[in-house]
Chains A and B, each alone.
Chain A
């Protein structure tokens, strides 16, 4: 990402386009794995407290805040969770969630997702929960901030 090269077919641009939000929650061994601000935003990043306000360029899949809210902008094509993890630079498969090994359980809108977690579509206002090494009751929905 720092080299601003295309990732998973997505380019790093300075394009301001219409976007929507999805919310992602990750749990490893029953504990929260934070989704950081700045995913998909190339350095040097403009930071303000816990938030990233901008950067050299940004990918269609990106995060501005450390809350799990991910922005899906134009150019994402068929936006999937696998492509988001590619931009983030963290591994994701049926048996690996970031640094955690083990079967990964996925939930979308509170319902169990039975396919590959990489294939989960990032549809508008999707609430996605991934767990490995323990069960946390998944939230079915998220109230998104204005503009997303």
Chain B
């Protein structure tokens, strides 16, 4: 099975050399890698394998759920090839990259940089969700990958295609937080208990008063 997949992948890549991509510009590594992959990772330092596995699985699950998304994680100007000047400008780069990888149909796209996020091809709700994302927690590739994992889950949920069952992806980032829900239920239960107790006390006092 794996060898069949590898053969198919090689055939796909070989055919790509014979038939041109529809883009009219090239030169940034992510545009080439994203033709066949869901995620582009920074060159240096390498992203932790566990984070790559999680993010790859998450984007695959999102696609299966009806939310295909390409993610470009840009850690330094080196990751931008011929356009290093766009480092630190995630939305500008997202617009540039969109022209290179969206051919006949609009391709949903998320760019993650230390400076923040850029996006293209998302629904209005998902675009709003991008605006509310906290900036990555650091400059390292792992920080950016972790931010991407959180972002993909939130965007998928905002688009109505929540990602479920991916190891390493917190369900709290998929819109409805399970821990928040648990706390809310506990608070409501306590409130109901308190109200019931108060009612009992009041009725007993009323009964005592009538005697």
Contacts and interface: CB of A to CB of B under 8 A. Distances in A.
A119 B34 CA distance: 32
Contact of B36 (A35, A66, A90): A66
Contact of B27 (A25, A34, A37, A49): A25
Interface in A42-99: 45, 47, 49-50, 65-69, 90, 98-99
A63 to B, nearest CB: 11
B48 to A, nearest CB: 15
A90 B82 contact: no
A91 to B, nearest CB: 12
B192 interface: no
A115 interface: no
A18 interface: no
B16 A36 contact: yes
Nearest to B41: A49
Interface in B157-175: none
Given A32-B21, A36-B13, A68 B27 contact: yes
A14 to B, nearest CB: 21
A146 B78 contact: yes
Contact of A31 (B24, B33, B43, B84): B24
B80 A34 contact: no
Nearest to B87: A143
Pairs of residues from A and B, 7 with the lowest C-beta to C-beta distance, nearest first: A31-B20, A139-B82, A67-B29, A145-B43, A32-B21, A32-B26, A67-B32
Interface of B: 6, 9-10, 13-14, 16-18, 20-27, 29, 32-33, 35-37, 43-44, 77-78, 80-82, 84, 100
A143 B81 contact: yes
A106 to B, nearest CB: 16
Given A50-B37, A67-B29, A142-B27, A36 B17 contact: yes
B81 A142 contact: yes
A141 B33 CA distance: 20
A34 B22 contact: no
A79 to B, nearest CB: 21
A29 B20 contact: yes
Interface of A: 23, 25, 27-38, 45, 47, 49-50, 65-69, 90, 98-99, 127, 136, 139, 141-146
B80 A90 contact: no
A137 to B, nearest CB: 9
A30 B18 CA distance: 14
B57 to A, nearest CB: 13
Contacts of A146: 43-44, 78
Contacts of B43: 145-146
A145 B20 contact: no
Nearest to B12: A36
Given A47-B9, A90-B17, A34 B35 contact: yes
Contacts of B26: 25, 27, 32, 68
Contacts of B82: 23, 127, 139, 141-143
A142 B10 CA distance: 27
Nearest to B42: A145
A23 B81 contact: yes
A47 B24 CA distance: 28
A50 B36 contact: yes
